[in-house]
Amino acid sequence: MGDTHVRKINRSLIYGWMTIVIILFVSYVFEVMKGQRSFTYLVVFMAFTAVPALIVLIFYLTKPDRYSLRYLIVGGYFLMYIFVMITGSTTMVFSYILPMLSLLVLFHQPIIIVVTGFASFAVNLVSIYLRYTNGEITKANSKDIEIQLALLFLCFSGSFLATRLYDDIHKKNQAYNNELTERNRDIEKMTVQTITTIANTIDAKDEYTRGHSRRVAEYSATIASALGMSDIEVSNIRIIGLLHDIGKIGIPDAVLNKPGKLTSEEYQVMKGHTTAGSEILKDIDMIPDLDIGARYHHERPDGKGYPDGLSGDQIPFIARIIAVADAYDAMSSNRVYRKHLPKDAILNELHKGRGTQWDAQCTDVMIKLLTDDLLPHVNADEDAELVQQASTILTRVIDMAEDKGNETSDDLDSLTGAYGRDKGRDMIQSAIEKSGSGVIMVVDIDNFHFINESEGFTVGDIYLKKTVSMIRKLAKEMIVSRFGADVFVIYLPTIKTLSEAEALARDLLEQTNTVSGTDQNMHPFSVSIGITEVCTEKDKAMILYENANKALYVAKQQGGNIYYSHQTVDHFVHTEKDPAADLNTLVNIIQNRHHYKGGLIAAYPEFGKMYEFISSLAERNNMQVHIVLFTIAAAEGKKPDLSEQTRVMDLMHKSIVGSIRNIDVTTRYSSTQIAMLLMNLDDQSVKGVINRIMTEFFRTYDKREFTIHYDTADLSKNTKEKE
């Protein structure tokens, strides 16, 4: 953008200069013909005006965006000015000064105004002195000289102020444009990453097509580049290629992964991915013709393709490129129904289908690229992180579907044999009303998302069935309900005390630890347990569930493989400790998050992502990042209950959110701790933020049953030391 701007300014100034020279040349020619000027004058005029203009024009033609050309233009224009000063009148002098000042303002460089102004004054003073010594200046006309100098001063001083103002505006606009360009670049990068993640999500439906969309995108871009298309067109085709198979997301796996020949009905279903993909993409106008590749990449020049049976030039050129790239990847990759073809066989197929199955021009380019070994070697493992993102997205979708299914089910869960959420809730409530006693236990499998993502859903199903099997061994009478993907609620009507329930919880933990230590297929395997007591027949099942779930929350924040009881106050309230120890642990974990597989970071993926974003932004802009860890602890001699602790944590969280900026990040680190990231603040400013938080907290909390401790660390320094 900057080079184009410079080129336009240079062109406009040179054209304007040449126009003035031509007008003056014609005027002087007429004056020579009338005898008012000599031919020698005309030659000297051309030497001082036209020759510099031609030289500058030659420089412009060789490199039109040359930034330094402005100095040559100013110098050449100043020669014209000196020539007129020597040979012309004061009026003619100002006819040159004003255009020159205009172009100097356009350059928005005050120093040029200053230099040119001093030079102009010097030339004028020399001219005045020569005219005075020749007797041309007398008292009668000395006023003209005063006006001339005054006008020079006004012109240059006014131009200097205008230039300063224009230069300030120009710099602000340039800074804004640079910021906008950087933001657009970030958005474009995020967009491409999102599109690649979507493509990997599609490919993940079939292990044989892993990386297919990315390979087709790269092959298509290579073909487009070889055809001489522009960089923008190549970039667009790469993205269109990434999404060409997006319609397959709606094709049943039984059809998509069928090893044998498809039936006519199945083939019709498979062909539907082109129109489905087009419908998904048709309203997205970020990239021109984004839906073209999805709809028409199976059309053929001979008219035998689908979905519309287009032929020849009726097929959009983008789709013709993607069709060849798609066919090549299909032939060169292993598929569920056959192994990949050798290079010679692929070349033979390309020659056979040239002009009938695929566009002749695109096929010729593909044949040359393949023959000369110029096709990019795309490694699917290079996208491991994006593939993992795609896998995570699928996992979450499936988990949410499972949660939703369990929430609305009135029957037994088909996998574990436990009641569904609604049925289980009703059964537990009915049993409580009859018994009026017992305990509620909530059992959650630790790191279940990690197990699903790393080992697969089949292994995850084994963990679920094993967990329910062990739960049923705890007592003869119980109601087991699956409340979520890996959350089970158990009502034990015959258990009368918390000590009995805690004994059962220890038994369940021993069972899981034994399995984890002896069965390599189920390692690691542990659960977290929350317990609450049923006191009367009027207790509500969902309130008891919430109480037990609060206890479970504490167990999860302590790393899992442990139980807590809602009524056991001491289990919930942290004793006074050194928050720096926890802070050092947190700093170490988030800076080594790619190598850590514990429950802590798995429980806070959003915090880890925000830390990555902020740390990378801080590194690019040389900013500081501080982390602050707040810890609440029971005041000396106080034993507050869990509800009071929850209230204090909520007040603390509100105090933090109300005291930090939009660019800062906060999250709960444990049941009694809150972590906070502050960006681009020095140590003194960080202390100021903490003081505001503490002031706001104690303004809203007056019971004094808890005390607050905090510690800080500069993550920027830790990162540098680590590197």
Q: What is the 3-state secondary structure (H, E, C) of 274-319?
A: HHHHHHHHCCCCCCCCHHHHHHHCCCCCCCCCCCCCCCHHHCCHHH
DSSP state of 564: E
CA dihedral sign of residues 51, 55, 57, 58: positive
Q: Name which of 261-275, 393-407, 694-708 the model is least confident about.
A: 393-407
pLDDT of 318 > 50? The answer is yes
The owner of tokens 């795609």 is 390
For residue 348, what pLDDT band results from cuts at 50, 70 and 90? very high
What mean pLDDT comes out for the span 389-406?
42
- Crossing angle for the helix pair 142-203 and 90-106, to the nearest 10 degrees: 20
**Average pLDDT in the chain:** 77
The sheet with strand 706-714 has its strands ordered as: 665-670, 673-679, 625-634, 706-714
* Backbone Cα Rg of the chain: 39
For residue 385, what pLDDT band results from cuts at 50, 70 and 90? very low
Q: What is d(CA 464, CA 165) in angstroms, rounded to the nearest whole number?
A: 71
Instruction: Select from 3.40.50.300, 3.30.70.270, 3.40.140.10, 3.90.105.20 the CATH code of 579-722.
Output: 3.30.70.270
What mean pLDDT comes out for the span 123-152?
76
Closest-CA residue to 554 (of 646, 434, 435): 646
Q: Name which of 98-102, 170-174, 340-344 the model is least confident about.
A: 98-102
Q: Is the pTM of this model over 0.75?
A: no
CA dihedral sign of residues 28, 29, 34, 36: positive
**146/231: higher pLDDT:** 231
Strand pairing report for 563-565 and 527-533: parallel
What mean pLDDT comes out for the span 419-430?
87
Judge if 204-378 and 579-722 fold alike in CATH terms: no
pLDDT of 546 > 50? The answer is yes
For residue 322, what pLDDT band results from cuts at 50, 70 and 90? very high
Percent of the chain clearing pLDDT 90 (strictly above): 18
Determine the pLDDT at residue 19.
Answer: 79
Determine the pLDDT at residue 87.
Answer: 67
For residue 92, what pLDDT band results from cuts at 50, 70 and 90? low
Question: CA–CA distance from 704 to each of 232, 508, 643, 648 (Å)?
Answer: 64, 38, 15, 10
**609/454: higher pLDDT:** 454
What mean pLDDT comes out for the span 34-63?
81
What mean pLDDT comes out for the span 684-709?
83
Determine the pLDDT at residue 539.
Answer: 84
pLDDT of 432 > 50? The answer is yes
**46/208: higher pLDDT:** 46
**Each residue of 213-242: pLDDT tens digit?**
888 989 999 999 999 999 889 988 988 988
Determine the pLDDT at residue 391.
Answer: 41
Q: Name which of 249-253, 352-356, 409-413, 437-441 the model is least confident about.
A: 409-413
Determine the pLDDT at residue 399.
Answer: 45
Q: What is d(CA 218, CA 240) in angstroms, rounded to the nearest whole number?
A: 11
Percent of the chain clearing pLDDT 70 (strictly above): 75
For residue 669, what pLDDT band results from cuts at 50, 70 and 90? low
Domain boundaries, the chain: 2-175, 204-378, 410-571, 579-722
pLDDT of 600 > 70? The answer is no
Backbone angles phi, psi at 41, to 5 degrees: -60, -40
Determine the pLDDT at residue 118.
Answer: 80
Residues 214 and 326: beta-carbon distance below 8 Å: no
The owner of tokens 């309130």 is 543
Q: What is d(CA 449, CA 454) in angstroms, rounded to the nearest whole number?
A: 9
**442/69: higher pLDDT:** 442
pLDDT of 398 > 80? The answer is no
Closest-CA residue to 247 (of 214, 263, 266, 271): 271
The CATH architecture that domain 410-571 belongs to is 2-Layer Sandwich (3.30)
Maximum average pLDDT range among 418-427, 556-565, 612-621: 418-427
- What's the burial of 308, exposed, middle or buried (CB within 10 Å: 0-12/13-18/19+)? middle
Q: Name which of 222-236, 275-289, 358-372 the model is least confident about.
A: 275-289
pLDDT of 609 > 60? The answer is no
Determine the pLDDT at residue 408.
Answer: 41
Determine the pLDDT at residue 121.
Answer: 78
**65/5: higher pLDDT:** 65
Q: What is d(CA 533, CA 505) in angstroms, rounded to the nearest whole number?
A: 14
For residue 521, what pLDDT band results from cuts at 50, 70 and 90? confident
What kind of fold does domain 204-378 have according to CATH?
Hypothetical protein af1432 (1.10.3210)
**304/643: higher pLDDT:** 304
Closest-CA residue to 396 (of 197, 106, 139): 197
Residues 406 and 447: beta-carbon distance below 8 Å: no
Residues 645 and 632: beta-carbon distance below 8 Å: yes
Residues 61 and 11: beta-carbon distance below 8 Å: no
Determine the pLDDT at residue 616.
Answer: 65
Is it true that the peptide bond before 579 is cis, omega within 30 degrees of 0?
no
Q: What is d(CA 75, CA 70) in angstroms, rounded to the nearest whole number?
A: 9
